[in-house]
């Protein structure tokens, strides 16, 4: 099994994917443990001081004015976690919970939170053992961190709450820890706050969505190319010299993909010189690179934001040191405890606005790419626009309805995606007795983006089904009978047929075929079928 090593520097996107989706185990590096110990020494010193320090010897949020005596501070930490583990609703997906736990551990490893090494190691042990806290859908406002989701995870470190073990069985946390040979931790000063005050949930969902969207946008280029091919469209509009007139990076990449996917098509060759009838295609065909390319550029912007957030140490308050060098710097010698003088500072870095904005932006992207995909599909079904294919691609129109209702399914999803594109980040509901009077709603933005990505996957899958049937009919009937599809698009048709998806013929139970197509898109199988033929797409 792969092991991800967490140090004082940022974890990578590949690390997040490995832990979240491939069950990689986790361990802390020696430099991370040293940084953790160094910050902890500062917390211990401040905890012993008579002057109150927020998060160490005071209450939290609007209750920060109360100085908590030493004998009540362990209870303070337990009470914080128990009270903040107030989520409600369905369980959050396992990959999201594992991702957010890794990202919280990454911040702990920077040496700016003040936790003890045994607490950080316990988080790593939970991930390595495959123990996943039960986190609920609702509870985070995306400010002061993803408090409720992270509190449900911290609760498990204490041996409380519910989890699912590596096999997915629901059980009390205490039983799962005992079965894995792990002992609950007793949280010390500041540790409860350090475990819950981060943007890790919304960031984990952003990283996962970016990976999915990058695969989906290449797959959408494939489905668009198949639609152009089967609808007797022209590929001249995708020429490189035309794209250079508008040097948007994503647009050029998408157009290049379309050209490569269509290369060698006998269907395209059969009408390439028909300039009288093929002067201009509809926007949904002709402008595919413009829409898909703008989506690519937006995903790249979101990836830049995510990269900066992965390199961040999000907590409040934080432990900082009066030295030059940043994360992982060698501490100066001659200072008691082996480090530079440290201090605790309050800050607002937990506010999720940077992540919330791009999460909302990506929901817009998903809605618009799905919208143009559905429009390409719809053209196949209309006899007036599909260039002599049967109405609805039906075997015996009137007796058979063909793919009529598959397009309804697409339309229903696209309508839902438009609703999900309404931004969550422009909303704010004050909380904590007006101490937290502006919040990001980034968690909500992330949750709706996950639904958007799922919807886009389904819309593209139905376009592939439709285009494959249209291409099959195009190469077996009418004036183009006997022509051959491009090697890349032909590979997709074969893949779908091998899995029982989309062949022409009398009506049959369509839902299972749609779900199979969705799985082939989501797994990357469609993309792999094309790339095995023509190499990696941009």
Catalogue the active-site residues: 54
* Cα–Cα dist 161/154, whole Å: 9
* Cα–Cα dist 469/489, whole Å: 12
* Cα–Cα dist 444/421, whole Å: 12
With vertex at residue 144, the alpha carbon angle to CA 422 and CA 135, rounded to the nearest 5 degrees, is 75
Give the three-state DSSP class for 392.
Answer: helix
Contact between 118 and 326 (Cβ < 8 Å): no
Contact between 361 and 298 (Cβ < 8 Å): yes
Neighbours of 287 (CB within 10 A): 16
Residue partners of 290: CB distance under 8 A and separation at least 6? 248, 251
* Cα–Cα dist 410/112, whole Å: 48
Residue partners of 246: CB distance under 8 A and separation at least 6? none
Contact between 161 and 85 (Cβ < 8 Å): yes
Contact between 94 and 132 (Cβ < 8 Å): yes
Q: Which residues pair with 47 in a beta bridge?
A: none
């Amino acid at each position: 099994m792969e092991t991800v090593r967490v140090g004082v520097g940022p974890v990578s996107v590949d690390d997040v994917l490995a832990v979240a989706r491939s069950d990689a185990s986790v361990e802390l590096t020696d430099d991370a443990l040293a940084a953790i110990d160094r910050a902890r020494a500062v917390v211990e010193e401040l905890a012993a001081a008579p002057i109150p320090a927020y998060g160490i010897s005071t209450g939290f949020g609007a209750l920060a004015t109360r100085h908590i005596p030493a004998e009540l501070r362990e209870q303070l930490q337990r009470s914080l976690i128990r009270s903040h583990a107030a989520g409600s609703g369905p369980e959050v997906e396992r990959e999201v919970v594992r991702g957010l736990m890794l990202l919280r551990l990454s911040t702990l490893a920077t040496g700016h939170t003040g936790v003890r090494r045994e607490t950080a190691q316990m988080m790593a042990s939970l991930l390595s053992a495959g123990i996943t806290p039960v986190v609920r859908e609702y509870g985070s406002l995306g400010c002061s961190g993803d408090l409720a989701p992270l509190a449900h995870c911290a609760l498990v470190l204490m041996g409380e709450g519910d989890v699912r073990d590596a096999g997915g069985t629901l059980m009390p946390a205490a039983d799962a820890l005992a079965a894995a040979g792990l002992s609950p931790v007793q949280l010390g000063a500041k540790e409860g706050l350090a475990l819950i005050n981060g943007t890790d949930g919304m960031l984990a969902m952003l990283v996962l969505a970016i990976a999915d969207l990058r695969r989906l946008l290449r797959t959408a280029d494939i489905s668009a190319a198949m639609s152009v091919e089967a609808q007797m469209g022209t590929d001249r509009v995708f020429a490189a010299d035309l794209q250079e007139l508008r040097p948007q990076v994503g647009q050029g990449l998408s157009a290049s993909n379309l050209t490569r996917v269509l290369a060698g098509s006998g269907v395209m060759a059969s009408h390439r010189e028909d300039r009288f009838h093929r002067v201009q295609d509809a926007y949904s065909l002709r402008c595919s690179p413009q829409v898909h390319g703008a989506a690519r550029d937006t995903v790249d912007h979101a990836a830049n934001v995510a990269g900066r957030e992965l390199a961040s140490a999000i907590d409040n308050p934080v432990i900082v040191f009066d030295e030059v060098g940043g994360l992982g710097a060698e501490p100066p010698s001659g200072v008691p405890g082996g480090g530079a003088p440290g201090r605790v500072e309050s800050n607002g870095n937990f506010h999720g606005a940077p992540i919330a904005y791009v999460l909302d932006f990506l929901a817009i992207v998903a809605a618009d790419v799905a919208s143009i995909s559905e429009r390409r599909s719809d053209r196949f079904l209309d006899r007036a626009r599909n260039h002599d294919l049967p109405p609805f691609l039906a075997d015996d129109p009137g007796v058979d309805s063909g793919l009529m209702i598959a397009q309804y399914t697409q339309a229903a999803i696209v309508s839902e995606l438009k609703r999900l594109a309404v931004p969550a980040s422009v909303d704010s509901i004050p909380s904590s007795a007006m101490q937290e009077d502006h919040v990001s709603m980034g968690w909500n933005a992330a949750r709706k983006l996950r639904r958007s990505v799922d919807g886009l996957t389904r819309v593209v899958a139905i376009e592939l089904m439709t285009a494959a049937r249209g291409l099959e009919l195009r190469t077996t009937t009418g004036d183009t009978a006997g022509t051959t599809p491009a090697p890349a698009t032909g590979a997709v048709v074969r893949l779908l047929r091998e899995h029982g998806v989309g062949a022409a013929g009398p009506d049959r139970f369509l839902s299972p075929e749609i779900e199979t197509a969705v799985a082939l898109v989501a797994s990357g199988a469609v993309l792999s079928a094309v790339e095995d033929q023509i190499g990696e797409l941009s």
